[in-house]
Amino acid sequence: MPRRPHHDSGPLCVPVAAHALGEEAVLRVWVPDSYPVTAVALRAVVDGEIRTREARPLPAADAPSADAAPEEPTPAEAGAGTWWQVRLRAENPVVPYRFCLIGPGGGDVPAYAWLTAAGLIPWDVADATDFRLVVHPPAPAWVADAVVYQVFPDRFARSASAPVDAEGRPAPQDLPAWAVPMRWDEEPAVRGDITGRQLYGGDLDGVIERLDHIASLGADTVYLTPVFPAGSVHRYDAATFDRVDPLLGGDEALVRLSQALHARGMRLMLDLTTNHTGDTHEWFRAAQADADSVEAGFYLFTEHPHAYRSWLDAVPSLPKLDHRSPALRARMLEGPDSVVGRWLAPPVWADGWRIDVANMTGRHDDVDLAHEVARTLRGTMPEGTWLLAEHGHDATGDLAGDGWHGTMNYTGFTRPLWAWLAEPGSTLNWLGLPTTVPRLPGPAIARTLVDYNAHMPWPSRLHSQNQLSSHDTPRTRTVVGTRERQIVAVAALAALPGVPTLFAGDEIGAEGSTGEHSRTPMPWAAIAAVDDAAPADGSAPADGSAPGDGPASEGSAPVDAEVLRATRALLGLRRREPALRRGGIGLLHVEEDLLVLARTHPEGDVIVVLARASRPGPVELDLRGWTGIIGLEEIHAEGNVGGSADGALLTIRAAGPGAAFWRARRS
């Protein structure tokens, strides 16, 4: 194992954090004995200028988790290395910092190197991957502990009282002209205009009736895609923001759902489009009707009333909003009576907003108000609510300020996991690129996990969503191809920093080749049959049947009982282990088919092994070279991965795809 100095932004390396301007943080760097140094220096940037301070080695008695060090610490060993400590005052809301390591050099150890969030680099590099001390008000404390369950309302569950016709198709009192009623067991279309018109009849009372299932997965936050009336079933083309779609049960049903969630100690997150509305929106209709109206200033008309900017300038049903309009900002973003404020207040009391295409909001041509919109949103939202940005590529430039708490981390989580675990020869599109999903080796994946996320402030990464799939992508199972690799993917979801977010249906191994095709109705009878057949302790069936051979009823949506069991176990493990929710992270070992990492926390570390395939021989890791770990206790294993510990020597064996988690004890 490479023995290299380490620092991250977790509580082991930052045992005392700064929460306001003027407060001091305590920063620690682990330097193994195999990497000789004569000095460790902090370099920060304050008011645009470099500040430096020398770090001091900690006595063994104070390492590695004491809150404060003596004034004059003396060198001492802690396991197989030394902790060095320094203090940094938060003189700006965001203070970039890095460490310089100086030593005699020789062999593989340079005489001079920088330690940044991207790792140890023996040459001068730009500041983009510096660690950051951030004292902007953080996301609410509950977010770091959350497990989110994403619900596409029309496809999740029909309530017992939902009206249907004799053939089982939804039969609401007022069926929209765009709607094509569908039986619950019919497969959704793969692509085309029909995808937004297929109405299956799921509603918000149906979500209430299935909260036991959601809670069984360890999830404590329900994220609903839009609930406002619209011209399609996906509802990103809202016709108003002032009421809930009657097809979903109206305002009263959303209040009932919120009350049911809060009574269980769970939370509700809603979805809002701030970049555009639908072309049937009451604001847009008023804007088209009168060029002198206030609403006409909400949109970007190039020739009134029929020529205007739209989403991607290619979808005229989604006219783009112009956030230069003070009236628009007042109506949509600012204050408790705005769209943003209203749904976070009683009687709904939603706990946060996910903002659709946040990366495009307020941006067009030479106008860039995206950060201003984010700050305004956050200023309107009450304390204790979460503000999340949808962003499909590099979101890091939008995350260092006092706007979005986090993003949907497609680039720093979804894409690398897909590329590592993808079915060989996959023909699926790789999240919008003109290519199919590649199958990349472990070192390439590790570089993305480290390098990209190094550009993201730690609070933003901790409060961003990690998702293996969503309503906009192919399904996880279709991407990875097998049950075993899907379980590895769920293990990564449980293991890596960020908020695990599960798209409804992934827990049963549902398949889908496009985002639209992935919006498959949940097969509740089949899920109930699997649950009824499962042993009470969650173990494999005793009748000799293969795990996962659950019923395949209700059309095209079979239930993989083994994936369901593993999802419950792995996300339950996440909820129990502080290191998996709030700990720092370091990569211990990387091979083509194997990733080994540690999540570190003063309450106990967790070693995580992820294997996408078998390995011909064991891997031996001397963990003293990183943190001085002296013992390991197995806490969970999935699939074909196991190991044993002898002192600080961990031997890992992988007979196929799988994952293992061990709790580590420190000297």
Q: Report the CATH number at residue 365.
A: 3.20.20.80
pLDDT of residue 667: 63
Q: 14 lies in a domain?
A: no
Q: Report in angstroms the alpha-carbon separations of 99 from 25, 104, 497.
A: 15, 17, 23
Tens-digit pLDDT profile for residues 452-479: 999 999 999 999 999 999 999 999 999 9
Assess whether 92 and 36 both reside in one domain: yes
Domain boundary among 574, 595, 620: 574
Assess whether 563 and 601 both reside in one domain: no
Whether the bond into 64 is cis, omega within 30 of 0:
yes
Domain boundary among 81, 113, 134: 134
- Measuring CA to CA, which residue among 464, 392, 482, 461 is closest to residue 430? 392
Cα separation, 483 vs 562, in Å, equals 8
Q: 6 lies in a domain?
A: no
Question: 3-state class of 171 per DSSP?
Answer: coil
Tens-digit pLDDT profile for residues 122-145: 999 999 999 999 999 889 999 999
Cα separation, 144 vs 138, in Å, equals 11
Q: Report the CATH number at residue 127.
A: 2.60.40.10
Q: Report the CATH number at residue 601.
A: 2.60.40.1180
Assess whether 376 and 311 both reside in one domain: no
pLDDT of residue 576: 96
Contact 459, 134 (CB under 8 A): yes
- Measuring CA to CA, which residue among 565, 591, 593, 584 is closest to residue 664? 584
Q: Specify the pairing of strand 352-356 against strand 221-224.
A: unpaired
CB atoms under 10 Å from CB of 653, counted, come to: 17
Cα separation, 490 vs 503, in Å, equals 12
Assess whether 359 and 261 both reside in one domain: yes
- Name the region of 477 (left: φ>0; alpha: ψ -120 to 50; beta: rest): alpha
Domain boundary among 95, 114, 134: 134
Strand stretches in 425-515, DSSP E: 429-430, 433-436, 465-467, 499-503
Q: 635 lies in a domain?
A: yes
Per-position b or e across 627-646, b if 16+ CB within 10 A of its CB: bbbeebeeebbbbbbebebe
Assess whether 547 and 622 both reside in one domain: no
pLDDT of residue 548: 39
- Measuring CA to CA, which residue among 646, 652, 644, 650 is closest to residue 615? 652
Q: What are the tokens at 16?
A: 């005392």
Q: Using CA of residue 377, residue 378, residue 383, residue 384, what is the dihedral sign?
A: positive
DSSP per residue, 583-629: -EEEEEEEETTEEEEEEE-TT-EEEEEEESS--SS-EEEEGGGTT-E
pLDDT of residue 72: 33
DSSP per residue, 8-30: -SSTTT-SB---STT-EEEEEEE
Coarse DSSP helix, strand, coil percentages of the chain, rounded to the nearest 5 percent:
25, 30, 45
Tokens 């983009």, residue? 128
pLDDT of residue 537: 59
In the chain, which stretches have pLDDT less than 50?
Answer: 1-2, 65-78, 541-556
CB atoms under 10 Å from CB of 61, counted, come to: 10
Angle at 87 (CA atoms; ends 23, 412), nearest 5 degrees: 85
Cα separation, 20 vs 197, in Å, equals 50
Q: Report in angstroms the alpha-carbon separations of 429 from 425, 441, 473, 483.
A: 12, 19, 9, 21
Cα separation, 406 vs 396, in Å, equals 9
Q: Report in angstroms the alpha-carbon separations of 527 from 178, 184, 508, 560.
A: 31, 14, 8, 9
Q: What total of structural domains would you count in the chain? A: 4
Q: Using CA of residue 224, residue 352, residue 222, residue 356, what is the dihedral sign?
A: positive
Assess whether 588 and 568 both reside in one domain: no
- Give the residue numbers spanning the domain of 45: 24-134
Q: Report in angstroms the alpha-carbon separations of 313 from 297, 318, 371.
A: 18, 9, 22
Element (H, E) at 113: strand 112-116
Assess whether 370 and 502 both reside in one domain: yes
Assess whether 73 and 206 both reside in one domain: no
- Measuring CA to CA, which residue among 92, 98, 89 is closest to residue 9? 98
pLDDT of residue 495: 98
Assess whether 598 and 639 both reside in one domain: yes
Residue type, 665: R
Under DSSP, the state recorded for 227 is: -
CB atoms under 10 Å from CB of 26, counted, come to: 18
pLDDT-above-90 percentage for the chain: 86
Assess whether 442 and 561 both reside in one domain: yes
Assess whether 511 and 375 both reside in one domain: yes
Assess whether 115 and 200 both reside in one domain: no
Model confidence, pTM = 0.94
Q: What are the tokens at 321?
A: 């909003």
